[in-house]
């Protein structure tokens, strides 16, 4: 119980720390308490970047340590994985997506539909140049890049937000938490250990719950599909996969599971690798691409734990952003130099992970 209490305290610390890099153009509330809080955390995050980085590093390290302990001792946990997910979700629904601007793009894309009654596939955010929300919206010169299902799902929080930014923000975060909980519940019904691996993994927590990437929604729908497949509900399972593809097309390889192939799961894994490599070559390496691997837990139980060194490296790749400020050009750094450093960090940890797995395999052979 004490361990879980410390974990929830850590999650709360993460939620508070996330506002250290809040966009200065965002005003959630016109209230002295909010203004005082924002001034304190912004001073820390923007003007004491070395200390901010140390706090970020400490939080990530501790998250991985807790994840390791929880997975090892999953049978002795007082709370069920779903209850842990519920508390984590209730805390992080108030967190700020401090490592990515995509979340605000989701909000504005849907705003084009619900407020301006225009199609975001044919209109860009920049077309509405008088909108005050453009102050903190990135990628204003792009059309809607996601599947139609995500647009339909996003209509609900956008419409219920009644054009109020703070309320819309909270509802979009709530939407992400709901899908996180659905994924947790489905995995818990299949296997408690699988659920713990998903619920407490730092990559899911940071990229899914805090940064609010829609990959988590697509992932959860795949998990629901796999649950239905295990329960012999093939039609419902297929529908869930199709809905997931309609969120983000990267989940397309999971259709292979439905083919009557002897090694369908291996073909799925390989195809996912190919898909991610394709994305990387077309754009760049983004940490949230890799949360898709968590849908493979029921087929490759050790996959996630075996890749945790790499996952740690993905979260460490934010060093240039947290320590030196933004991805744009600043004194002493160009934008490309930061991205190159980010990629170097990822490659180093990937190499470390490969070496670790090879070493472990050699040791296992000697023991046998």
pLDDT over threshold 80, residue 62: yes
**Predicted local confidence at residue 263, as pLDDT:** 84
Greater model confidence, 329 or 282: 282
Record the tokens describing residue 307, joined without a space: 């890749």
Nearest to residue 259, comparing CAs of 234, 236, 239? 234
- Domain boundaries in the chain? 2-367
CA–CA distance, 172 with 206 (Å, rounded to integer): 16
**Predicted local confidence at residue 329, as pLDDT:** 57
Residue keyed to tokens 């797995």: 357
What would the mean pLDDT of 329-344 be, rounded to a whole number? 78
pLDDT, tens only, 105-149: 999 999 999 999 999 999 999 999 999 999 888 888 999 999 999
- First and final CA of the chain: distance in angstroms? 38
Cα separation values, 98 from 23, 94, 144, Å: 8, 12, 22
Task: Return the number of other C-beta atoms located less than 10 Å from residue 21's C-beta.
Answer: 23
Helices 234-245, 215-230: inter-axial angle, 10-degree rounding: 170
Record the tokens describing residue 154, joined without a space: 């996003």
Residue by residue, DSSP assigns 32-92 as HHHHHHHHHHHHHHHH-HHHHHHHHHHHHHHHHHHHHHHHHTGGG-SS-HHHHHHHHHHHH
If pLDDT is split at 50, 70 and 90, which confidence band does 228 have? very high
**Predicted local confidence at residue 332, as pLDDT:** 62
Q: Where are the alpha helices (DSSP H) in the chain?
A: 2-17, 32-47, 49-72, 81-92, 102-114, 148-160, 165-190, 192-199, 202-203, 215-230, 234-245, 264-282, 303-306, 308-316, 319-324, 335-367
CA–CA distance, 278 with 343 (Å, rounded to integer): 16
pTM of the model: 0.93
Greater model confidence, 86 or 101: 86
pLDDT, tens only, 278-314: 888 877 889 999 999 999 999 998 888 899 999 999 9
Nearest to residue 229, comparing CAs of 248, 257, 249, 250? 257
Q: How many CA atoms lie within 13 A of 343 on its CB side?
A: 11
């Amino acid at each position: 119980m004490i361990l879980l209490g410390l974990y929830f305290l850590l999650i709360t610390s993460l939620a508070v720390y996330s506002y250290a890099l809040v966009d200065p153009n965002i005003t959630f509330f016109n209230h002295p308490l909010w203004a005082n809080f924002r001034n304190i955390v912004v001073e820390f995050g923007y003007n004491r970047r070395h200390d901010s980085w140390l706090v970020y590093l400490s939080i990530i390290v501790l998250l991985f340590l807790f994840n390791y302990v929880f997975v090892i001792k999953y049978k002795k946990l007082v709370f069920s994985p779903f209850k842990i997910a519920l508390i984590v979700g209730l805390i992080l629904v108030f967190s700020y997506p401090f490592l990515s601007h995509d979340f605000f793009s989701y909000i504005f894309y849907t705003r084009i539909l619900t407020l301006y009654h225009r199609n975001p596939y044919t209109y860009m955010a920049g077309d509405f140049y008088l909108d005050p929300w453009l102050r903190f919206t990135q990628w204003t010169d792009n059309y809607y890049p996601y599947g139609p299902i995500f647009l339909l799902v996003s209509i609900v929080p956008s419409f219920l937000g009644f054009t109020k930014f703070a309320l819309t923000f909270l509802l979009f975060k709530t939407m992400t938490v709901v899908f996180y909980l659905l994924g947790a519940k489905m995995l818990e019904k299949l296997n408690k250990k699988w659920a713990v691996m998903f619920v407490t993994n730092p990559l899911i927590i940071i990229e899914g719950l805090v940064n609010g990437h829609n990959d988590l929604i697509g992932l959860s729908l795949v998990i629901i599909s796999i649950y239905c497949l295990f329960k012999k509900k093939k039609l419902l399972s297929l529908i869930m996969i199709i809905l997931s593809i309609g969120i983000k097309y990267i989940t397309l390889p999971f259709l292979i599971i439905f083919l009557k192939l002897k090694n369908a799961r291996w073909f799925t894994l390989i195809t996912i690798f190919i898909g991610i490599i394709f994305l990387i070559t077309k754009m760049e390496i983004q940490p949230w691409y890799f949360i898709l691997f968590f849908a493979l837990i029921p087929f490759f139980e050790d996959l996630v734990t075996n890749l945790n060194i790499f996952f740690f490296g993905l979260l460490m790749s934010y060093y240039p952003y947290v320590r030196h400020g933004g991805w744009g050009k600043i004194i002493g750094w160009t934008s490309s130099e930061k991205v190159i450093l980010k990629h170097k960090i990822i490659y180093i940890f990937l190499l470390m992970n490969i070496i670790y797995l090879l070493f472990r395999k050699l040791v296992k052979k000697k023991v046998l």
